[in-house]
Structure 1
């Protein structure tokens, strides 16, 4: 059994750690409120934009998509892995890395064997991991330092330009979708080529009765909306990941604080028992000494 001095040192160490985890939980909670507000405002906008684009794209010619809807044999793939810059968020980052590795081993096994899978890492954790293992496209470790649409747009434009130039035949995103503080869902979504709209019959019939006036033209509007929609999709995924990160860190730090409290209870109990045993031994020694002294008389 450790002596009392060692136990006191462990109690002080665990107490300091508990204060740190409690402070990190409070910081994550404050950041989560802002991040949650941002994604809640973005979701309706992104959904509405996709709905307008789907309505306008129905019945349009194939070349109206500006090349973003071109279906090819998938030989080269770009995977956009969205993680955080920091750890201490439970399995938040490892789930993304695990999912990307599964994609490379299962869905894109043939492409990976031929070196046809590239990674665009948004977030330092993904950049550090995949930078040691494969080819990285661009450097976007700075995105979360000052998160805005402009910082994400550069990544979207690089992916879009690579697809149009034939460098990639398919572009997919892997990110954590924010559900609530305790739950984050790993999503794998295809960004390019854009998928044809699949609307319910009721929605299509309702839209058929609507009389649109296009200015300047339907084709030009669609060609303008598609790049904007693609950038919004990636920006929304980054906002989802940002909110998920703070939720995961808040949950992890809350659990760490609870575990530290339980450990403190166990250490204090051990310390008190050791202290009582030491006091009992001292009393026994005094009593034994007194009895020996009395016997010697």
Structure 2
């Protein structure tokens, strides 16, 4: 009897857990749909801005005078890594932490004081502290709120530091959403930016076909003036795109993890129910044998 009660208790516990994982799966699924709509709307806009940069650069024979296009000797680097604040998303956060360690290891010859780490999300912030680095700010509160003004503030800070020469290179580490069941880690440069640099991890903006002349535009007031305003905007939109990409990937990873957990709970419930029924049947059989045995003794058989 005690064993039957224990199995019954386990079945109830698994079912309770299954209700939680199923609810989390549905929540993540709803959030994923919303995030997908945002990023699908943003991609064409960002790519169009970047296409403008390519066209302006192609028509500038003397080159573009912009600090954001100038490659420098890297003496000080900033690395931005995106994760989530919470777990239960498979290896989503662990993969980011592992990639960050590898990237940081490559820059260790510069010295720890010349490696600035910007963790967006509590999980990667903990990884940064375990590595012996001090995070450059606390961005955990905005990690799950993919609003443009949040991305604009962080990107604006990095742009300003780059302009002042406080950093020479900026890199991004994040998950890129492919499908609901597949997200890949992207490690790419953020600054400096160039016409030949891919805009995002999804699509490379193609350059004009060799041998074909670029479209001839009349540019007013002049190319450099437009570039002065266009490049910072491209960078901020790109940062926001990466931000959204990471959040979208997080929801997809959590939805997948919770679906697997829910399916596993189903399997475990079936196994425990089968075991419970076997033990119950065995218990009933033993009771019947005891009754029959007692009856036989009373009749003197």
Length-normalised TM-score, structure 2: 0.90
Asked if residue 171 in structure 1 is aligned to residue 170 in structure 2, the reply is yes
Match of 2:296 among 271, 287, 291: 291
Q: Which residue of 2 aligns with 1:110?
A: 109
Q: Which residue of 2 aligns with 1:51?
A: 51
Asked if residue 79 in structure 1 is aligned to residue 86 in structure 2, the reply is no
Give the Cα–Cα distance (whole angstroms) in 2 for the partners of residues 212 and 139 of structure 1.
45
Q: Structure 1 145/114 Cα, relative in aligned 2: closer, same or farther at 3 Å?
A: closer
1:221-236 matches, cutoff 5 A: 221-236=226-241
Q: Which residue of 1 aligns with 2:203?
A: none
Give yes or no for contact 1:103–1:109 (8 Å, CA) kept in 2: no
Match of 1:249 among 249, 254, 258: 254
1:213-228 matches, cutoff 5 A: 213-228=218-233
Q: CA deviation at 1:165?
A: 2.4
Give yes or no for contact 2:81–2:172 (8 Å, CA) kept in 1: yes
Give yes or no for contact 2:8–2:276 (8 Å, CA) kept in 1: yes
Give the Cα–Cα distance (whole angstroms) in 2 for the partners of residues 201 and 178 of structure 1.
28
Give the Cα–Cα distance (whole angstroms) in 1 for the partners of residues 113 and 278 of structure 2.
62
Give yes or no for contact 2:89–2:250 (8 Å, CA) kept in 1: yes
Q: Which residue of 1 aligns with 2:123?
A: 125
Asked if residue 70 in structure 1 is aligned to residue 75 in structure 2, the reply is no
After the TM superposition, which parts of structure 1 deviate over 6 Å for at least 4 consecutive aligned residues?
Answer: none
Post-superposition Cα deviations, 1:158-199, rounded to whole Å, max 9, x if no partner, equal: 111222223322110001111111110110110011235376
Match of 2:212 among 183, 205, 224: 205
Q: Structure 1 86/72 Cα, relative in aligned 2: closer, same or farther at 3 Å?
A: same
Give yes or no for contact 2:82–2:173 (8 Å, CA) kept in 1: yes
Q: CA deviation at 1:116?
A: 2.5
Tell which deviates more after alignment, 176-185 or 198-207. 198-207
Structure 2: gaps spanning 5 or more residues: 198-205
Post-superposition Cα deviations, 1:262-281, rounded to whole Å, max 9, x if no partner, equal: 00000001111111111111
Post-superposition Cα deviations, 1:117-148, rounded to whole Å, max 9, x if no partner, equal: 22111122222332343121122222244321
Give the Cα–Cα distance (whole angstroms) in 1 for the partners of residues 258 and 48 of structure 2.
36
Give the Cα–Cα distance (whole angstroms) in 1 for the partners of residues 51 and 221 of structure 2.
20
Give the Cα–Cα distance (whole angstroms) in 2 for the partners of residues 177 and 61 of structure 1.
36
3-state DSSP class of the match of 1:167?
A: coil
Asked if residue 27 in structure 1 is aligned to residue 27 in structure 2, the reply is yes
Q: Structure 1 186/78 Cα, relative in aligned 2: closer, same or farther at 3 Å?
A: same
Post-superposition Cα deviations, 1:219-242, rounded to whole Å, max 9, x if no partner, equal: 100111111111111100011111
Post-superposition Cα deviations, 1:27-66, rounded to whole Å, max 9, x if no partner, equal: 111111110011111111111111111221233656621x
Q: Which residue of 2 aligns with 1:237?
A: 242
Q: Structure 1 62/116 Cα, relative in aligned 2: closer, same or farther at 3 Å?
A: farther
Q: Which residue of 2 aligns with 1:153?
A: 152
Give yes or no for contact 1:140–1:155 (8 Å, CA) kept in 2: no
Give yes or no for contact 1:57–1:222 (8 Å, CA) kept in 2: no
Q: Structure 1 187/259 Cα, relative in aligned 2: closer, same or farther at 3 Å?
A: same
Length-normalised TM-score, structure 1: 0.91
